[in-house]
Structure formats: structure tokens, C-alpha cells
Amino acid sequence: MGAAIGAGLSTAAYALGVEPGLRLRMTRYALTPPNWPPGFHLRLGVVADLHAGEPHMGTDRVRRVVAAANALRPDVMLFLGDLNASHRFLSRRFWPGETAALLADLRAPLGTYAILGNHDWWEDEAAQQANRGPTEAHGALERNGIPVLENTGRRLVKDGRPFWLLGLGDQWAWWGGSVRRLHRGGVDDLPATLAVADDDAPAILMAHEPDIFPQVPSRIAVTLAGHTHGGQGRLFGWAPFTASKFGNRYAYGHVVEGDRHLIVSGGLGCSVAPVRFGAPPEIVLVELGQPGAG
């Protein structure tokens, strides 16, 4: 019994004190989707679900995340939403402008682009009451030089090769009052987002929640998502709880369905409680096409 109690306490201490605030993993995915142009190599740095707030994701920790992401030397840097934490165990809350100013130090030759997450909407009382944006997080990111792509996109060029970067509006924008009836709707418009890519250049889709993936056509080379935190607790690759109606299907990692690709980041911060176990905070590097090409 003593050994069991000791093991339980050690596990709890690790889940509360070590994995959420001290570990930081770099996860790399290399893939060549069927519709990706030959000879085109593109590196995407992905930072998701920061949930800044002390004690686990304070200023120094965010700065270390930014430095580590920059060290990966991506061609373009992507932030997939959820700037700040809002759970009850915070010792200090951050304001959107405070966190966005720290993310302004993200560096990539083709720039940094963002989408908003559900917490960027839920924590904005004015937007919730008005039932419309823009949110404070949106403005804070834009003021710090990070464009927010909300049902729109940008045509970017690397080494003379164009590609589309598309950003979907958040699917869980409107708070419904309980975890089991989370949203009255979102601000996502997939047809309008896809319509932005009006030529045959390859397209990449950023979507905070992965649940949109069954609707994403093969026109999209890869969909990048966060939100689930990998379940925030995983045992042998399985999460007992995920913030997705599809359960573990889209909880984490590289998912291939037919000729369509989805990559779900485990993110960096915590929601509901400052606990992570078997789902360490991570920065993701996605390499599309063969290295050395392009």
C-alpha cells in the first residue's frame, strides 16, 4: 500500500509540476502529400495552444518557447490559437496584448500568421455579449505584426513557388455554458476559406479544432490543428478524454484518411487544470516535400 501511495504521489507531482511547466518537446513530421508539387520543400513551424499564465506558462517560459521555435528555422511560422490560460489554478492571468507582444519575436522568412482558438473567443466578454468579433486577441496579434487569418488566406511564395496559407474561423467561438454543450455555433466558414485559393497552387489549412477535417477536400495538402492538447493525459497512446466529438480519432499526431492529411499538435499549455501526463508540451515542425529540393 505504501508503494502504491508513493507511486501515486510521484505521478501526481510529475503531472502537476514537471510535464506542464518544465518539459518541451520538438516534434517533426515529414510528408509529401499526393497533390504536393515535386521539388518543392517547405518548412512550417507550428506553435499551438500556448495558454499563457503563471505559474506554468509565465513570461520566461513563453520566451523559451519562442526561442526554441525560432531555432527550428521554419520558412513560415504558424500560431494555431488560444493565447492565454483561463483555468482556476492560475497565480497570474495574462492579457492578450501581453502574450501577443511575446509572440512578436517569432521569426521566419515568410512571416508569422495566426488563427484564433475557442478560448480567444470565450474569454472576451464583449465579443460574447455582442455575438460578433473582432476579439481582443485578434487585435493584439495584429498590432504585434501577426496577421490573423479568419476564413481567409494569403498567397505566399518561396523560391519562386507559390502556395496558399488558409485560416479557418474558430468552430467553438460561442460559449454555451457547459462542457457537454460547448457551443452555440462558430465563426467558421469553410467554403469561403477554400474559395480564397483561386488558382492551382498548393494550399495549407489552419483550423484550431480538428473536427472540421472530414469536410476538408483533398485540394488541401495538409490541415494543421491543435485544441485537443493530445488529450492532456495519455496512456500508451490513448487519451481517456479529448475535446473532440471524434474522441481519439483526431486527438493527436499525423492522421491520414484516403489522400488527405491532418496533423494535430499536442500544444503547449493547459486547459481546465494545469496537468499533463504522457502528453508533453510540444512545438511542431512540418516539412512538406523532400529536403534539399526547391
Dist CA 294 CA 291 (whole Å): 8
Task: Spell out where the chain has E strands.
Answer: 25-31, 42-47, 53-54, 76-79, 92-93, 112-114, 152-158, 161-167, 175-178, 181-183, 203-206, 220-225, 253-257, 260-264, 282-288
- How sure is the predictor about 137, in pLDDT bands with cuts at 50, 70 and 90? very high
Domains of the chain with CATH codes: 2-288 (3.60.21)
Q: What is the pLDDT of residue 153?
A: 98
pTM: 0.90
Q: What is the pLDDT of residue 231?
A: 92
pLDDT in tens, 31-88: 999 989 999 999 999 999 999 999 999 999 999 999 999 999 999 999 999 999 988 8
pLDDT in tens, 257-284: 999 999 999 999 998 888 888 899 999 9
Q: What is the mean pLDDT of the chain?
A: 90
Using CA atoms, how far residue 220 sits from 106, 112, 204, 293, in Å, is 25, 20, 6, 21
pLDDT in tens, 214-251: 999 999 999 999 999 999 988 888 999 899 999 999 99
R_g (Cα) of the chain, nearest Å? 18
- How sure is the predictor about 178, in pLDDT bands with cuts at 50, 70 and 90? very low
